Structure formats: C-alpha cells, structure tokens
A and B are shown apart, each in its own frame.
Chain A
Amino acid sequence: MSAALIVFIILAVIAVAAALAMLLSTNTVYSALYLIINFIAVGVIYLTLGAPFVALAQITVYAGAIMVLFLFVIMMLGAEKLSEHEPLKWQRPVAIVLGLALIGESVYALVTRVGTAMISNPAAEKLADPKALGTLLYSKYALPFEVTSIILLAATIGVVVLTHGGKKEEKQ
C-alpha cells in the first residue's frame, strides 16, 4: 500500500460521494456546491497524474467560472422545489438498473480485457510543464486551438442574442 494509492483512494471516495450527493440533493444550490467539491477532487487527481496545468485549469475554469455561472442562474431563477408528481413511472427504476448495468459491464470489460497490467507512469511528472504543453498547443494543435476561439465567440454572440431579444419584449 503505497502513499500514492492511499491518496488516490481518498480522492476517489470524495469524488464519488460528492457526485452521489449532487444527484440526490433536493436543494439545487447544494447540488452545485457538491459538484464543485467533485471537480476539486478530480483536479487533485490530475495533479497526481502529472498534469499540473490541466489541474489548475480545471479548478479555475470548471469550478471557478462554469459553476459560478450555474450559481448565478440558480439564484436568478429561484431554487424552487418541483412538484412530486412523476409522469413517467418507469423512468426511475429502469434508469437505475440500466445505469448500474452500464457501469457493471464497463468495469467487467475493463477487468477482463485490460487487467491490471497497465501501470501509471510516475516519471511523466517531469514531462508536463506548461511550456511543453503550450508548444504542443501552438504547433500540432494550432488549428483546433483557433477553432475553439471561434466556438467561444459564437457562444458569446449566441447568448447575447438570445437574452437580448427577450429583454426588449419585457420592456415593452
């Protein structure tokens, strides 16, 4: 039982528990906060995997920006409680069964096909400095990089158009 393994197990447990809590919580704000915990836990796992830049990007972008946006909207719309009436009766049991089936089969496939032969590489930590990642991004993945900027632009314009039009009508 090496230290790395113990660390991993603790982080894994936190991540899964937070995810479950997010699913089961009735209060939407609590769900968002649980999700933030999950993101942070996964970010730390990234650190152990030798990806510092990605880890911090995760915390900054995901937990910091995206979840904050979520919280904005939740507060704006009011964290209401939805009615108990469930129109789709079979949804809950079947979804749970299928979800478990999916997880189970994937784990089974992993165990039988992959096995425990592959081991993570601790030496990779040396490789992952931001400089190397930056060089890669701007050389091999230059085109996708530019495309992502366009995606962001499109998203921004889209959001503005969507909400701007609505505001006009309200005023009138």
Chain B
Amino acid sequence: MIPMIYYLGLAVVLFGLGLVGVLLRRNALVIFMSLELMFNAANLVFVSFSNYYGLLDGQALVIFVMVAAAAEVAVGLALMVMIFRTKGSIDIDQMSKLKE
C-alpha cells in the first residue's frame, strides 16, 4: 500500500549519507561503518523490489550481499589493525604513500 518510491527514496538517502561519510571522516573505522551503511541501502532496494514483484530472488541476493559485507569487514579490520601497529594512528590522511 505504500508507494515504492518511499522505500527507494529512503534507500537513496541512506546511500547518500553513507557516501558523504566515506568522504568526510578521517577515522578509518568510521569510514568502514559508512561503507556498511551503503551496503545496507542497497539491500533495502533489493528487498523492496522482491516484495513488489513477488519473487524471492531479491532476498536471496540480500543473503549474498551480507556474506560479502561480512568477509570484507573482517579483512578490512584486520588490515586496520596491522596499519595501527606500524603507523600508530588510524587517520586515513596519514596513509598517503601513493605520492611520495
């Protein structure tokens, strides 16, 4: 009964907020968390369309997205720990070895 566009709009807003978060914050952990927010928004879109069409495929894909997100978080946080051990900080601006 609720128009789809509300769900899609919410997803868009969450996605945008996550994106801004990735760009604005310098704490690497907060950046990761914003990434999770973006994943979440995508999941919302999947589920809403699964509801609209009456197919369960969307939900299956959401499962896969969650798995991928989990794996990515694990590895990413392990990397963050390693970097913290060498650099002593998780400020992402300090990791600018791309230009030396």
The judgment on whether A and B are partners is: yes
Binding site for B on A (CB under 8 A): 2, 4-5, 8, 12, 15-16, 19-20, 22-23, 28, 31-32, 35, 38-39, 42, 45-46, 49-51, 53-54, 57-58, 61-62, 65-66, 69-70, 73-74, 76-77, 80, 82-83, 86-88, 91-92, 95-96, 99-100, 102-103, 106-107, 110-111, 114-124, 127-128, 132-133, 136-137, 140-141, 144-145, 148, 151-152, 154-156, 158-159, 162-163, 166, 170
Partner of B67, one of A151, A156, A170: A151
Closest B residue, CB atoms, query A92? B24
**Would you call the interface of chain A mostly helix, strand, loop, or mixed?**
helix
Q: Which of B1-37 contact A (CB under 8 A)?
A: 1-10, 12-14, 16-21, 23-27, 29-30, 32-34, 36-37
A66 and B36 form a contact (CB under 8 A): yes
Q: A28-B29, A107-B9, A162-B79 are in contact. List 10 more A-B contacts (CB 8 A).
A: A5-B1, A23-B34, A35-B36, A57-B66, A117-B3, A118-B3, A118-B5, A119-B3, A155-B71, A158-B74
Known: A19-B17, A19-B18, A77-B81. A120 touches B66 (CB 8 A): no
B interface list, Cβ under 8 A from A: 1-10, 12-14, 16-21, 23-27, 29-30, 32-34, 36-37, 40, 43-44, 47-48, 50-52, 54, 56-57, 59-60, 62-64, 66-75, 77-82, 84-85, 89-91, 93
A159 touching B75, Cβ below 8 Å: yes
Which of B7, B18, B57, B66 is close to A136, meaning CB atoms less than 8 Å apart? B57
Q: Across the interface, do B37 and A22 meet the contact criterion of CB distance under 8 Å?
A: yes
Contact of B73 among A70, A127, A137 (CB under 8 A): A70
Q: Are B10 and A62 touching (Cβ within 8 A)? A: no
Interface contact B60-A8, CB-CB below 8 Å: no
**Contacts A28-B30, A166-B82 given; does A121 touch B51 at CB 8 Å:** yes
